């Protein structure tokens, strides 16, 4: 049972345009959401996050939107640059009693930004 889903395995956009990556989740206990970026032969690196008490968080060219009623979040990159080409993972976190949080990852979306 996939609790975090990224239904688009790949996305191609032109340099300078907007990239929109989508993610859906099913577990209502998730209250913190993150996006990680992964280049080949490297580990995932943290990009941006959002708490469930917010509906938008912005950091430079990256904005994450959260729609709790739809259990949907999206990552907007504008303008897109060739260096943004990577696999993007959506992750969700729930607080577990007596322990640190754990992340549940989606399957990733390969973004290709064409020059």
Partner 1 sequence: EAGVAQSPRYKIIEKRQSVAFWCNPISGHATLYWYQQILGQGPKLLIQFQNNGVVDDSQLPKDRFSAERLKGVDSTLKIQPAKLEDSAVYLCASRRGPTDTQYFGPGTRLTVL
Residues in contact with partner 1 by the rule CB under 8 A: 4, 6, 9, 34, 36, 41-46, 49, 89, 91, 96, 99-108
Measured from the CB atom, the residue of 41 and 53 that comes closer to partner 1 is: 41
Judged by CB, which is closer to partner 1: 5, or 68? Answer: 5
4-20 burial, b if ≥16 CB within 10 A, otherwise e?
A: bebeeeebebeeeeebb
CB of 14 to partner 1, least distance (A): 26
The residue whose two tokens read 């032109």 is: 14
Q: Which is nearer to partner 1, 70 or 100 (CB)?
A: 100
Token pair 């340099």 is at which residue? Answer: 15
Q: In angstroms, what is the minimal distance from the CB of 43 to partner 1?
A: 3
Q: Is 60 left (phi over 0), alpha (psi -120 to 50) or beta?
A: left
């Amino acid at each position: 049972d996939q609790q975090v889903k990224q239904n688009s395995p790949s996305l191609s956009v032109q340099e300078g345009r907007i990239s929109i990556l989508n993610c859906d989740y099913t577990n209502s206990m998730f209250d913190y959401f993150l996006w990680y970026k992964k280049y080949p032969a490297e580990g995932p690196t943290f990009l941006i996050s959002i708490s469930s008490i917010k509906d938008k968080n912005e950091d430079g060219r990256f904005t994450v939107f959260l729609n709790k009623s739809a259990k949907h979040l999206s990552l907007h990159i504008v303008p897109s640059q060739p260096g943004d080409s990577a696999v993007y993972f959506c992750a969700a976190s729930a607080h577990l009693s007596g322990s640190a949080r754990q992340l549940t990852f989606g399957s990733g979306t390969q973004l290709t930004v064409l020059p």
